[in-house]
C-alpha cells in the first residue's frame, strides 16, 4: 500500500476498485490491440487508396447505430446494457472467426471487418470511460483516472505481443477467438465494480452510487442532449478540432517520411521506433506524472497542454519544416494525448448527468470523432490542391491550433464552474438545466 500511494493518491477502500478498473481497461484494450494489426492488414488487402471510403462507411455505420444504442440504454439497466454491448462485440468476433477460417476470404468480409473494428474500438472505449465516470466521483476521477489509463496502456502493449507471437503458428482466425475471450472476461469486472460501488456506498464518502437503472430519453437522446447543452457543444468542437489537428500531423509526417526514406524496411523501422518511444513514455507519465500535473497545474491548464504544444509545434514547422520536427511533434502529440489529455478529456463528463455520460458521450466519442477523422483527410487534400505549398498547410494547421486552444480554455472554465456546483446525491440525475446557464 505504501508503494502504491507513491504512484497514485488512492485510499485503502478504493484499492480493489482501482485494480479492477485497471484490469477492465487492460482486457478491452488488449482485446482490441490483438485484432488491430489484422485490421491494418485488411487495409492493404483492400488497397490503401480505398481507406477514405472505408472511413466514410465507418461514420455511416456509427450514425445507424446511434438510435439502436439509445434504444438499448433506455430499456435496460446499467449492468445489463454494458453486459449486452460487451457480449455483442465478443459474439461478432466469433462470427468473424468462421468467416476468416477459409482458404480465400471475400473482399466484402475484409472490408466489413475493417469497419467493424473501428466501430468496436470507439464504442467499447467510450462505454468504459462512461462507466468509470459513473463509478467514481469527481474528486476520485482527478486522483485515479491517470493510473486507470495506465492499465489500458499495458493492455495496448500486451495485445500486439500476443499477435506477433502467435500469428505465424496459429494464423489470423484463432486470434479472433483469443480477442473474444479476453473481451468477455471484462464482463466479470463490470459486475464486480457495480457490486463494490453499491455495497460500499456511504453518504459521507466521495463515492457516489451507480444508478443501475435504464436511462431516460429517446433513442436519439444523445443528439438532443448535445443540442440543448452549450457545454456538450463545446466538447464537440474540441473533439473535431482535435481530430483535424492530429490528422494533419500524421499526414504531414507520412509525406516527409516518404520523401526521406525510399526503403520500406527503413520506414517500418522508424515507425516501430516511434511506437516504442511513445508507449514507454506514456506508461511513465500515466504512472508517475499525470495525476500530479492535474494537481499542480489545475484542470484547465492541463486540458490546454496538448493543444498549446501542437500549436507551437506547427508554428515551428512553418518557420523551419523538417522531418525531425514533425517526428518530435508526433511523439509529443501521442504521449500528451494518451497520458495527459485523454484522462482530462474523460473528466469533462464527470460533471454531467448520467444520460449525458452514456448517450451524449458515446455519440461524441464515436460519430463526432470519426466524422472529424474522416473529413480531415479530405480537408488536407483540398487545402494542398488549392495552395500547394507545405508552409500553407502548416499555416492552416496553426490557425486550427489557435481555435483548439481557445476551445480548451473555454471548456476548462466551464468545467470548473460546473464542478463548483454540488454533486447530485446518490443517483446524480439531471444537470442539463444548470449546464445551459453557462
CB atoms within 10 A of CB 264: 8
Residue 11 pLDDT: 85
DSSP result, 28-51 = HHHHHHHHHHHHHHHHHHH-GGGH
Residue 23 pLDDT: 96
160 vs 33: CA distance, rounded Å: 6
Tens-level pLDDT at each residue, the chain (438 residues): 777 777 777 888 888 999 999 999 999 999 998 887 777 666 656 655 566 677 778 778 877 877 777 777 677 777 788 888 899 999 999 999 999 877 777 888 888 888 898 889 888 888 898 888 888 887 888 788 888 888 988 898 888 888 878 887 888 889 899 999 999 999 999 999 988 887 764 443 444 455 555 555 544 567 788 888 999 999 999 999 888 877 777 777 777 777 787 765 566 567 657 766 887 888 888 778 877 787 788 888 889 999 998 888 877 876 777 888 888 888 898 888 888 888 888 888 888 887 787 778 878 877 787 778 777 767 777 777 776 555 666 677 778 888 999 999 999 999 988 887 765 443 344 333 333 333
Taking the domains of the chain in order of start, what are their residue ranges?
Answer: 13-200, 220-422
Residue 24 near residue 189, CB atoms below 8 Å: yes
Residue 304 near residue 405, CB atoms below 8 Å: yes
Q: With CA atoms as reference, report the closest residue to 401 among 315, 279, 286.
A: 315
115 vs 332: CA distance, rounded Å: 28
182 vs 189: CA distance, rounded Å: 12
65 vs 61: CA distance, rounded Å: 6
Q: Same fold for the domain at 13-200 and the one at 220-422?
A: yes
Residue 44 pLDDT: 55
Phi, then psi, of 420 in degrees rounded to 5:
-70, -15
Residue 438 pLDDT: 32
93 vs 238: CA distance, rounded Å: 33
164 vs 233: CA distance, rounded Å: 41
**Cα 104–chain centre separation:** 34
Provide the CATH number for the domain formed by 13-200 in this structure. Answer: 1.20.1250
Orientation angle between helical segments 230-260 and 221-228, nearest 10 degrees? 100
Quick one: cell of 434? 444548470
Provide the CATH number for the domain formed by 220-422 in this structure. Answer: 1.20.1250.20
DSSP result, 124-156 = HHHHHHHHHHHHS-HHHHHHHHHHHHHHHHHHH
0.85 exceeded by pTM? no
Amino acid at each position: 500500500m505504501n508503494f502504491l500511494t507513491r504512484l497514485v493518491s488512492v485510499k485503502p477502500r478504493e484499492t480493489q476498485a482501482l485494480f479492477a478498473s485497471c484490469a477492465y481497461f487492460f482486457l478491452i484494450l488488449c482485446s482490441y490491440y490483438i485484432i488491430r494489426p489484422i485490421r491494418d492488414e485488411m487495409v492493404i488487402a483492400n488497397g490503401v487508396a480505398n481507406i477514405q471510403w472505408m472511413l466514410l462507411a465507418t461514420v455511416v455505420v456509427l450514425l445507424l447505430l446511434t438510435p439502436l444504442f439509445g434504444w438499448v440504454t433506455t430499456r435496460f439497466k446499467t449492468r445489463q446494457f454494458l453486459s449486452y454491448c460487451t457480449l455483442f462485440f465478443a459474439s461478432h468476433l466469433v462470427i468473424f472467426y468462421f468467416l476468416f477460417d477459409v482458404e480465400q476470404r471475400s473482399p466484402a468480409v475484409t472490408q466489413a471487418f475493417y469497419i467493424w473494428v473501428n466501430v468496436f474500438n470507439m464504442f467499447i472505449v467510450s462505454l468504459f470511460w462512461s462507466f468509470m465516470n459513473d463509478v467514481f466521483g469527481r474528486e476520485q476521477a482527478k486522483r485515479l483516472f491517470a493510473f486507470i489509463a495506465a492499465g489500458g496502456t499495458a493492455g495496448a502493449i500486451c495485445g500486439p505481443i500476443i499477435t506477433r507471437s502467435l500469428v505465424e503458428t496459429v494464423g489470423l482466425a484463432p486470434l479472433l477467438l483469443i480477442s473474444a475471450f479476453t473481451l468477455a472476461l471484462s464482463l466479470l469486472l463490470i459486475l464486480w465494480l457495480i457490486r463494490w460501488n453499491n455495497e460500499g456506498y456511504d453518504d459521507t464518502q466521495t463515492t457516489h452510487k451507480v444508478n443501475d437503472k435504464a436511462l431516460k430519453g429517446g433513442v436519439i437522446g444523445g443528439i438532443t442532449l448535445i443540442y440543448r447543452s452549450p457545454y456538450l457543444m463545446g466538447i464537440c468542437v474540441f473533439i473535431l478540432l482535435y481530430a483535424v489537428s492530429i490528422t494533419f500531423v500524421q499526414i504531414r509526417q507520412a509525406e516527409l517520411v516518404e520523401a526521406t526514406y525510399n526503403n520500406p524496411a527503413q520506414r517500418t523501422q522508424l515507425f516501430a521506433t516511434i511506437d516504442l518511444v511513445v508507449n514507454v513514455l506514456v506508461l511513465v507519465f500515466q504512472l508517475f506524472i499525470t495525476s500530479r500535473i492535474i494537481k499542480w497545474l489545475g484542470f484547465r491548464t492541463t486540458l490546454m497542454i496538448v493543444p498549446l504544444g501542437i500549436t507551437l509545434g506547427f508554428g515551428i514547422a512553418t518557420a523551419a519544416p523538417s522531418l525531425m520536427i514533425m517526428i518530435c511533434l508526433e511523439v509529443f502529440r501521442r504521449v500528451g494525448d494518451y497520458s495527459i489529455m485523454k484522462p482530462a478529456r474523460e473528466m469533462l463528463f464527470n460533471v454531467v448527468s448520467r444520460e449525458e455520460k452514456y448517450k451524449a458521450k458515446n455519440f461524441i466519442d464515436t460519430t463526432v470523432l470519426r466524422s472529424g477523422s474522416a473529413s480531415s483527410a479530405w480537408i488536407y487534400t483540398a487545402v494542398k490542391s488549392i495552395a500547394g505549398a507545405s508552409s500553407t498547410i502548416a499555416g492552416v494547421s496553426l490557425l486550427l491550433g489557435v481555435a483548439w486552444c481557445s476551445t480548451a480554455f473555454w471548456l476548462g472554465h466551464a468545467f470548473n464552474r460546473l464542478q463548483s456546483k454540488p454533486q447530485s446525491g446518490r443517483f446524480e440525475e439531471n444537470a442539463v438545466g444548470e449546464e445551459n446557464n453557462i
